[in-house]
Chain A
Amino acid sequence: MRVYTPLEVAGRNIYLREGCYACHSQMIRTLRDEVDRYGPYSLAVESSYDHPQLWGSKRTGPDLARLGNKYSDAWHVTHMNNPRDVVPESVMPAYRWLLRDQLKTEDLGDHLRAMRAVGVPYTDEQIQFAAQDAYGQANPDSPEASGVAERYGEATNIRTFDGRTGPLTDMDALVAYLQMLGTLTDVAHTSETAEVE
Chain B
Amino acid sequence: MLADFTRGERTGALVILGTMVVLGLAMAIAGRHDLLGIHGWIVFGISLALTFGAIRQLDLPEPSPERLSEYYDAPTRTGLILTLIWGVVGMGAGFWVAALLAWPEMTFDVSWLSWGRLRPIHTSGVIFGFGGNALIATSLHVLQRTTRARLPDALSPWFVLIGYNLFCIIAASGYLMGLTQSKEYAEPEWYADIWLVVVWVVYFFIYMRTLARRKEPHIYVANWYYMAFILVVAILHIVNNLAVPVSFGSAKSYSLFAGVQDAMTQWWYGHNAVAFFLTAGFLGMMYYYLPKRAGRPIFSYRMSIISFWGITFMYMWAGSHHLHYTALPHWVQTLGMAFSVVLLVPSWASAGNALLTLNGAWHKVRDDAVLRFMALAAIFYGITTFEGSFMAIRAVNSLSHYTDWTVGHVHAGALGWVAMITFGSLYSLVPSMFKRERIYSQKLVEVHFWLALSGTVIYVFAMWNSGVIQGLMWRTYDETGTLSYSFIDSLVAMHPYYIARAFGGLLFLLGALTALFNVIMTIRMPAIGMAPEARGDLPAEPVMQAGE
* A residues apposed to B, CB below 8 Å: 13, 16-23, 25, 27, 29-31, 33-34, 36-37, 41-62, 83-84, 87, 89-97, 107, 110-111, 113-115, 117-120, 197
Contact = CB atoms under 8 A, between A and B. Distances in A.
A52 B258 contact: yes
B258 A58 contact: no
Contacts of A42: 326-327
B1 interface: no
Contact of A33 (B181, B328, B407, B475): B475
Given A54-B182, A58-B402, A114-B253, A119 B115 contact: no
B252 A111 contact: yes
Contacts of B266: 52-53
B119 interface: yes
Interface string B464-492: 00000010001101000011000110011
Contacts of A54: 182
A83 B327 CA distance: 31
Contacts, number: 182
Nearest to B474: A33
A54 to B, nearest CB: 7
B301 to A, nearest CB: 38
B182 A21 contact: yes
A29 B326 contact: yes
A47 B260 contact: yes
Contacts of B475: 31, 33
A68 B233 CA distance: 38
A23 B115 contact: yes
Contacts of A13: 252
14 contacts: A31-B325, A33-B483, A52-B255, A53-B260, A57-B184, A57-B322, A57-B401, A58-B402, A59-B403, A93-B114, A110-B250, A111-B252, A114-B244, A118-B256
Given A18-B178, A19-B180, A89 B260 contact: no
B116 A44 contact: no
A120 B258 CA distance: 9
B342 interface: no
A16 B180 contact: yes
Contacts of B537: none
B396 interface: no
Contacts of B184: 22, 57
B107 A94 contact: yes
Contacts of A50: 258-259, 262
A118 to B, nearest CB: 5
B29 interface: no
A110 B246 CA distance: 6
Interface in B68-108: 100-102, 104-105, 107
Nearest to B253: A114
Interface in B368-404: 398, 401-403
Contact of B107 (A25, A89, A93): A93
B325 A29 contact: yes
Interface in B482-511: 482-483, 487-488, 491-492, 498
A21 B402 CA distance: 12
A33 to B, nearest CB: 4
A107 B250 CA distance: 9
B120 interface: yes
Nearest to A17: B178
Contacts of B64: none
Interface string B219-257: 000000000000000000000000111110010111111
Given A47-B259, A117-B254, 15 more contacts: A16-B180, A16-B181, A18-B178, A19-B120, A33-B474, A36-B483, A43-B327, A48-B260, A50-B262, A52-B183, A53-B259, A58-B406, A111-B254, A114-B245, A118-B244
Nearest to B180: A16
A22 B260 CA distance: 18
B407 A18 contact: no
A51 B115 contact: no
Contacts of A113: 246
B258 A20 contact: no
A37 B484 CA distance: 11
List the 7 closest A-B pairs by CB distance, nearest first: A19-B116, A17-B178, A29-B325, A47-B259, A52-B255, A44-B327, A59-B402
Given A33-B475, A52-B266, A118-B244, A95 B114 contact: yes
A75 B114 CA distance: 21
B111 interface: yes
A113 B109 CA distance: 34
B448 interface: no
A86 B5 CA distance: 63
A21 B254 CA distance: 16
B263 interface: yes
A51 B262 contact: yes
Contact of A91 (B252, B483, B491): B491
B150 interface: no
Contacts of A83: 104
Contact of A53 (B100, B250, B263): B263
B117 interface: yes
Nearest to A33: B475
Contact of A52 (B116, B257, B483): B257
A192 B262 CA distance: 26
A117 B260 CA distance: 18
Interface in B168-184: 175, 178-184
Contacts of B179: 17
A17 to B, nearest CB: 4
A87 B119 CA distance: 23
Contact of A19 (B117, B253, B402, B491): B117
Nearest to B114: A93
B238 to A, nearest CB: 16
Contacts of B111: 18, 95, 97
Contacts of B183: 52
Contacts of A89: 488, 491-492
Contacts of A93: 100, 104, 107, 114-116
A196 to B, nearest CB: 9
A59 B405 CA distance: 11
Nearest to B323: A55
A43 B327 CA distance: 5
A90 B323 CA distance: 27
B1 to A, nearest CB: 37
A169 to B, nearest CB: 14
Contact of A107 (B115, B178, B246, B401): B246
